Amino acid sequence: MAFYLVHELKGLKTEKDGRMRIRANTSLPLAAAEDLVQKLQKIAGISKVQANARVGSLLIFYDSTRSRNQALKLLQANEKLPAMKKLLGVETTPQPALGGFFPLFRYLFIRPFLPPALRMLSAAIGAIPFLIKGLSALLHGKLCVEVLDASAIAASLYLRDFRTVSMLTLLLGLGDTLAEWTKRHSLESLTESLTLNVHTVWRKVNGTEVSTPLAKIKKGDLVVVRSGSSIPVDGLVVEGVAVINQASMTGEPIGVKREAGGAVFAGTVVEEGEIVIKVTSVGDDTRFRQVAAFIEESEAHKAGIQGKSERMADMAVPFTFALAGLVFLVTRNFMRAASVLLVDYSCALKLATPLAVLASMREGTYLGMVIKGGRYLEAMNEADTIVFDKTGTLTNASPVVAEVIPCADHNRDEVLRTMACLEEHFPHPVARAVVKKAQDENLAHEEEHAQVEYIVAHGVASSLHGKRLLVGSRHYIEYDEHIDVSPLSEQIAKQSAMGRSLLYMAEDGKLAGLLAIEDPLREEARSVIEKLKEEGFKRVVMLTGDDERTAKAIAEQAGITEFRAQVLPSDKADVVKELSDNGCKVLMVGDGINDAPALSQALVGVAMIDGTDLAREVANILLTRPDLNGLIAARRLARSTMRRIHVNFAATLLLNSVFLLGGLFNLLPAGTSAVLHNLTTLGISLNAMRPHLKHLAAIPASAPKPKK
């Protein structure tokens, strides 16, 4: 086992303290992980150690350079393979899967030309790694598939059946190599889709915010991040207070409070508030850590069916040993007992399901989606109700300002200029539309206003030249702030009847004007909704903050009969909860900051790539193309994956039962049973990894096709 450093962050409190993430080149036995944690925690200055045995990860918090170095020395002393080159400044490549493809080369091109004595020696040498692996698991108190494989090989060696030994080690080696290759390439494809998608940031210079390319940000710079935006750097908060969603790093969906002195990390998202961050790390290091955290999260979010398969595989091992013992007691024939050990259900049960899930997640990246865990594939398959947010989801993510309507005592250009000045700080499609309209009309809007306050899902508030400014929805302006909108009642009715959304501006408690936002339905929306109904969705619901007339106009265009108008963010989550409580399995599709609670509440949440950072972060599935056809592809991929898992499960039980009975009744020699069993396992694994090519029909013609 070899360890290597994947990320380190220093200066959390002082210049000498920090934390580092160490990764093993393989998963850690649970007992070994617990032992390492105990040893590390005994080192003076190590304040906390967290271990993830499945992915071989250790997160170590230290408060001095001395404790850090002692921890590294302890890990180096615990290695059974070469020293930690990465920790010494040299790259370490994780070791290849056990055996790799060398057993196949040896079996096909070397073994046939060897004399009998060397063939036996070659078979025995090839068996040693598997025997050690099984013995190690047994010594750690685990009766698992590795122990069963080692027992089968040992039985064949005892019977001097070296041909079977060679075939077993060949097939087991190929199976391990196949599993490792699939896992590595699947996760590489997934992580490519999760690169931090931030290009420009607001840098604070002498009290003024300046839009700056992320590539030009360096250590020590001050970066401003507001509600709904992704944090693009690692650093320390120097001003402000915010609630941070750290799910990408910790997997914990509940936001944490961060204020002056607190550490924040790239890839996390500001749910509420505004902070100024002093940069401590930026660039490849932070992106790498985000990717590593996602891999851990996707590994942890296994499908329920995968967990069931693994439990059944583990349960099958003692059953196989018990059956072999019973056969020996009844027949006193070691050959028949060995035939039971050579055929078991565990290998295929344990390999096929995770391979199918990982392969589907990998294929999903080519089909235009990032699926953040196997459980979400299963949830996508089970969902029977789909809930859409309107703006940016059913409608285009690039709405346009169709009309600027000022009140009688206000100037049209000033209304647009002021609204653009306030909205440019916020990552929402409507805000971008307002800013673009001002740019198209060459209306410069200097940063003269005071600090902008974002009221989640309502609007923004600030002050300019001593006047209190409010920009937002009708609910915010009329009902929350009690501002009379009747001066523009005729225009409000006219624009609403046209299906346009309205954005209001008030100045010192009086209505100043409004913008009519044209948010046309996506071209593919109606056809996608029809196909989703064909795919088994019984209910399709649209949620929007627009008034009843606007909501009805859009719903009719989309072919949706069930909709809720004037819905607030908390109401969206409540609607999802209400549907869930009534027995619906809800799939929520959204793109905005205010959709995050509903995305989290649903059985599975889906976000569009052109949505806000927070929506993309909270969602379980991310559509990486701005096209709703990805929903159909995701549904079909999920359904096909579950069908394949069930077929593989049935084939495993049927074929291995036949081979087992053949061995018990002397119809099949033990060696033949073993070969057939392992070929079946290999075949089922290959079937699990087979592409779902029929999903290409759901991909737009211009999109890149999956690699076969």
Residues known to be catalytic: 389
Secondary structure tally for the chain: helices H, strands E: 23, 24
Distance CA 512, CA 496 (A): 18
Alpha carbon dihedral 118, 122, 127, 132, in 10-degree steps, equals 100
Cα 517-480-253 angle, rounded to 5 deg: 80
According to DSSP, the β-strands at 562-564 and 539-543 are parallel
Radius of gyration of the chain (CA): 30
> In sequence order, which ranges of 611-694 are alpha helices (DSSP H)?
613-618, 629-664, 670-689
Among residues 21, 1, 19, the alpha carbon closest in space to that of 10 is found at 19
Q: Are 232 and 216 in contact (CB under 8 A)?
A: no
What are the angstrom distances between the C-alpha of 572 and each of 393, 565, 569? 14, 10, 5
Q: Are 17 and 263 in contact (CB under 8 A)?
A: no
Distance CA 388, CA 392 (A): 10
Instruction: Reduce the DSSP state of residue 699 to 3 states and report it.
Output: coil
Distance CA 57, CA 160 (A): 41
What are the angstrom distances between the C-alpha of 475 and each of 49, 508, 521, 546, 564? 48, 17, 23, 9, 15
Report the amino acid identity of residue 329. Answer: L
The total of other beta-carbon atoms located within 10 Å of residue 306's CB is 22
What are the angstrom distances between the C-alpha of 548 and each of 337, 544, 551, 632, 704? 74, 9, 5, 29, 40
Burial 689-702 (b: 16+ CB within 10 A, else e): beebeebeebbeee
Count of positions (residues) in the chain: 708
Give the contacts of 333 (CB within 8 A, at least 6 positions apart): 327
Sheet bearing 621-623, strands edge to edge: 369-371, 621-623, 604-608, 586-590, 385-389, 539-543, 562-564
Distance CA 267, CA 246 (A): 8
> In sequence order, which ranges of 391-546 are alpha helices (DSSP H)?
412-423, 429-440, 474, 489-497, 525-534
Q: What is the DSSP string of 84-133?
A: -TTTTTS--PPPPSTTTTHHHHIIIIIGGGS-HHHHHHHHHHHHHHHHHH
According to DSSP, the β-strands at 263-264 and 467-472 are unpaired
